[in-house]
Structure 1
Amino acid sequence: MLNISDNNKMGVSNWDKFQTIRNLNLKSNSRTLNKIIVFFFILGLLILFLPWTQNISGSGAVTTLKPNQRPQSIQSVISGRIENWYVQEGDFVNKGDTILFISEIKEDYMDPNLVENTQKQVQAKKMSLESYGSKVSTLSNQIQSIESERGLKFEQAQNKIKQSLLKIKSDSMDLVAVKTQLKIANTQFDRAMQLNKEGLKPLTDVEEKRLKLQEVEAKIITQENKFLSSKNEYINAKVETNRINAEYAEKMSKAQSDQYTALSNQFDTEAQVNKLENQYANYSIRNGMYYIKAPQSGYVNRVLQAGIGQTVKEGTPIVSIMPAVFDIAVETYIDPIDLPLVHRGEKIRVWFDGWPTIVFSGWPDVSYGTFGGKIVAIENFISDNGKYRMLIAPDKEAEPWPKEISIGSGAETIALLDTVPIWFEIWRILNGFPPNYYKSDVKTTKEKK
């Protein structure tokens, strides 16, 4: 209903019964309101000129300063079957302590005497290598003997050639002498015949001369045969020289061939020895991999493979260990626009999840529960979350960080930059400008130097 009836209207005289209405009519509140407005206007104006510390905020988590101090999972280098556990979750293990034992599952390594048998094979091959070495040395001596014998035989053949030449020369001289005697005998026979015809010589002298001529003719045939025999001996001596060269060349080739074969077998056996030694070393090292040991001292966080008789492959994570001694740090991320404003060595304020804090980002001096840190590393490549990663270590000059902080807990960071008036900061944010570039004292000192 619109309630427009005149009977329902309240008269002005009825308002006086309300105390508040009577007070409003008596007092004028315009001055008080004006004073309040002016006060807050002046207060806001003064606040605009208050100092404000520009900062860069980031969020991350607690981690360790060195990579080897972070939680790590122990993996099995070889495939095997879990046979026995020696630890449980929460246990403290020293470096080298046995965590579990696995047995072999590959048929190539199931022989319990595999290492001993491989060692015997290595020794046998080494003995074979030594025998081949002895054979090579023997063949070398044999080759030297053949060389020496060939030299002596060749020298003997050369001497025989010289003797044949001298004999040919002697027989040729004897042949020439016999020919001379034949010529003289012919002359004497002809003279005797001529004198016999003239009656100056008897027939007996003629017969003597004829007999002597026949003897000389027979002698010259014998001498020619002797001369030809000397030539044949010379030729035979040269043939013997060639035969000696061919015979000893064949012997030398055979001995060298045997030597090269022995050398080839020696090198092949040496390669087999090296291969067997490599296998022996691999088998020995593999036997030590059945016991999985702690790489460093720490606490067993989580057992990733449970049960007895479970088969694991090589590279499978088995248990996670947290190192006992570590240097704490904070891993945080900043926006790409803020990357040029930070650098290594710059101081950072950090507060942790679970610790009471009161943070005024613009007035760090009045904040409570924050701890000092220093940038030790800045990643130059953007992360998957679209930000750049920074690593912050405790500042030794500031208050120490709590010892009860656990790895992986959350953390917030603030990087303090330049101090400006509040009105400038508001103006910068409205215009989308980045904070003022800040240079630390360390960098300034280096530039001065």
Structure 2
Amino acid sequence: MDNYMSKYITCEPEEELSKNPIPSFQNIYHIRRKSKVKNWLWGSLFLLFLVMFLPWTQNIRATGLITTLRQEQRPQQLNSVIGGKVEKWWVKEGDFVKKGDTILQLGEVKVEYFDPALLERTGLQITAKESAGTGYENKAQTATQQVSALEEGRTLKLSQIDIKLRQQQLKVESDSMDLNAVLNELNVAKRQIDAAKAMLDSGVIALVDFERRKITFQNATAKRIGAENKLLQSKQELTALRIEKNAVVQEYADKIAKARGDQYSAISDKASNDAEVAKLKNAYANYDMRNKLYFVTAPQSGQITKARKAGIGEILKEGDMIVEIVPDKIQYAVEMFVSPMDMPLLSRGQKIRFVFDGFPAIVFSGWPSSSYGTFGGVVAAIENSVSLNGKFRVLVTEDPNEKAWPTQLRIGGGANGIALLKDVTVGYELWRNINGFPPEYYQPVNAEKGKGK
């Protein structure tokens, strides 16, 4: 066989080799065939040249986590407002609860709240204090009426004394006029007796006439003394009335001051009593609210997770975490962390494509329309301060114009974001990457309109 093969290989020309019945000769030797490598090379170069002019959407990539845009929709801790011990669990981890459902029942651990009739006794104290306040109020009203009566009595008494003073003043004036008349009579009698004495010495009149005039003079003198005494007595009575008026004013001032003191004392006692009533009512409201806090209820609907206490009788301090509630109605968002170099390329309203963990996708970053399994988003907020990881936090919400995000998403899940930028050619993009230039910066249409406004 070896001799036979060597015969054909060494002796026969190429034209005859093509007629050889052995198939391997046909596959190994390309007889009368032309090379097509040059055609393939030129075709590949032409195809590459065409690819250079194909459109390419510039983008930046960033990883993120699923969250929610609203704070009340994020997982929240349910804390104990008061200290107590666990009496009964009404739910377990994994249960779904509605708003207002009872989660835990607490028992009291503070001595001052052990009394089972604490609310009732506090209510009785409030009733007693309110009754005392009514008594103080009545006392203040009585003192006010007493002050009014004393002021009215003082007015009447002073009016009476003023009338007496006026009468006494008129009497003083009358006595003064009587004294003046008596003095006139005395002056006349004195002139007459002086004339009579002279006539008696000259013998014109008899001694009897002189004695008669002398008696008249003495009577006038006595009348003067009586008139003066009467006038002085009238003035003394006037002074006594004035002293009586001052005494009345002082007496009524003391009585009114004492009545006003009682009035103000009653008002002060009423105010102090009202303060004590308000304090007791505040304590009553606190006790009532504390009784309601023994039953811990769900602040919103959701799923119970991360129960920190177990068993019955364990002690909870004020502010201790009881469980965590994950809301059942969530408006999902994605928080991405973008490097400072890429942050200026993002703006509110910009389109973002996401690939969520657990959801298969075929991604062509430069041709987003050809990708499959990605979901659309819109930039809702960009934080102005850098995070602890040295990047800027960007919140992205669901794009209402795209297909809805999966309902199976959960807070904390991963997401790969692709921020879509300007459309350029493939050649330009290769040239940009080779030279290390940043992507083309532009503003979305809605952002430009917002700035124009």
TM-score range, shorter chain: 0.7 to 0.9
Cα displacement (A) at 1:46:
4.7
Residues of 2 paired with 1:88 and 1:26: CA distance? 80
Provide the secondary structure at the position in 1 that maps to 2:62. Answer: strand
Given candidates 384, 397, 415, the residue that maps to 2:401 is 397
Residues of 2 paired with 1:104 and 1:421: CA distance? 73
Alignment match, 1:331: 335
Larger CA deviation: 106-115 vs 309-318: 106-115
Identity of aligned residues (%): 45
Amino acid at match of 2:110: K
Alignment match, 2:224: 220
Pair 1:80 & 2:84 matched? yes
Amino acid at match of 1:285: M
**1:25–1:295: structure 2 CA closer, same or farther, 3 Å change rule?**
closer
Provide the secondary structure at the position in 1 that maps to 2:443. Answer: coil
Cα displacement (A) at 1:191:
6.0
Alignment match, 1:364: 368
**1:248–1:381: structure 2 CA closer, same or farther, 3 Å change rule?**
same
Amino acid at match of 1:415: A
Pair 1:118 & 2:122 matched? yes
Gaps of 5+ in 1: 1-15, 18-22
Pair 1:90 & 2:101 matched? no
Cα displacement (A) at 1:49:
3.8
Cα displacement (A) at 1:279:
2.1
Amino acid at match of 2:446: V
Pair 1:231 & 2:246 matched? no
Cα displacement (A) at 1:48:
3.8
Gaps of 5+ in 2: 1-8, 11-26
Cα displacement (A) at 1:105:
2.0
Residues of 2 paired with 1:378 and 1:87: CA distance? 39
Pair 1:282 & 2:293 matched? no
Given candidates 234, 247, 251, the residue that maps to 1:243 is 247
Pair 1:315 & 2:335 matched? no
Cα displacement (A) at 1:274:
2.3
Provide the secondary structure at the position in 2 that maps to 1:303. Answer: coil
Given candidates 119, 127, 134, the residue that maps to 1:130 is 134
Residues of 1 paired with 2:388 and 2:450: CA distance? 35
Amino acid at match of 2:146: Q
Cα displacement (A) at 1:350:
0.9
Amino acid at match of 1:107: V
Residues of 2 paired with 1:38 and 1:63: CA distance? 52
Residues of 1 paired with 2:265 and 2:111: CA distance? 37
Amino acid at match of 1:431: N
Alignment match, 2:73: 69
Residues of 2 paired with 1:290 and 1:58: CA distance? 47
Alignment match, 1:161: 165
**1:133–1:383: structure 2 CA closer, same or farther, 3 Å change rule?**
same
TM-score, scaled relative to structure 2: 0.83
Provide the secondary structure at the position in 1 that maps to 2:261. Answer: helix
Pair 1:297 & 2:301 matched? yes
**1:268–1:448: structure 2 CA closer, same or farther, 3 Å change rule?**
closer
Alignment match, 1:341: 345
Residues of 1 paired with 2:318 and 2:452: CA distance? 57
Larger CA deviation: 316-325 vs 394-403: 394-403
Amino acid at match of 1:314: E
Residues of 2 paired with 1:372 and 1:194: CA distance? 152
Cα displacement string for residues 242-263 of structure 1 (whole angstroms, at most 9, x for unaligned residues): 2222222222322333323332
Alignment match, 1:107: 111
Pair 1:440 & 2:441 matched? no
Cα displacement (A) at 1:35:
7.3
Alignment match, 1:50: 54
Instruction: Note if contact 2:347-2:447 (Cα within 8 Å) is conserved in structure 1.
Output: no
Alignment match, 1:352: 356
Cα displacement string for residues 305-340 of structure 1 (whole angstroms, at most 9, x for unaligned residues): 222211112111101111122222222222222222
Cα displacement (A) at 1:199:
6.9
Cα displacement string for residues 18-53 of structure 1 (whole angstroms, at most 9, x for unaligned residues): xxxxx99999xxx88877776666655554443322
Residues of 2 paired with 1:427 and 1:399: CA distance? 35
**1:191–1:364: structure 2 CA closer, same or farther, 3 Å change rule?**
closer
Alignment match, 2:22: none
Cα displacement (A) at 1:107:
2.7
Residues of 2 paired with 1:390 and 1:267: CA distance? 59
Cα displacement (A) at 1:404:
2.1
Instruction: Note if contact 2:74-2:327 (Cα within 8 Å) is conserved in structure 1.
Output: yes
TM-score, scaled relative to structure 1: 0.84
Alignment match, 2:144: 140
Alignment match, 1:8: none
**1:169–1:315: structure 2 CA closer, same or farther, 3 Å change rule?**
same
Larger CA deviation: 140-149 vs 315-324: 140-149
Cα displacement (A) at 1:383:
1.7
Alignment match, 1:13: none
Given candidates 387, 390, 395, the residue that maps to 1:386 is 390
Residues of 2 paired with 1:68 and 1:124: CA distance? 46
RMSD over aligned CA atoms reads 3.1
Cα displacement (A) at 1:431:
3.1
Residues of 2 paired with 1:228 and 1:436: CA distance? 123
Given candidates 376, 386, 389, the residue that maps to 2:380 is 376
Alignment match, 2:17: none
Residues of 1 paired with 2:120 and 2:442: CA distance? 70
Alignment match, 1:4: none
Larger CA deviation: 368-377 vs 185-194: 185-194
Cα displacement (A) at 1:54:
0.8
Residues of 2 paired with 1:38 and 1:156: CA distance? 140
Cα displacement (A) at 1:196:
6.3
Residues of 2 paired with 1:283 and 1:118: CA distance? 9
Given candidates 172, 177, 184, the residue that maps to 2:181 is 177
Pair 1:420 & 2:424 matched? yes
Amino acid at match of 2:347: H
Residues of 1 paired with 2:183 and 2:401: CA distance? 132
Cα displacement string for residues 356-415 of structure 1 (whole angstroms, at most 9, x for unaligned residues): 222221222332221222222222222222222222222232222222222221111111
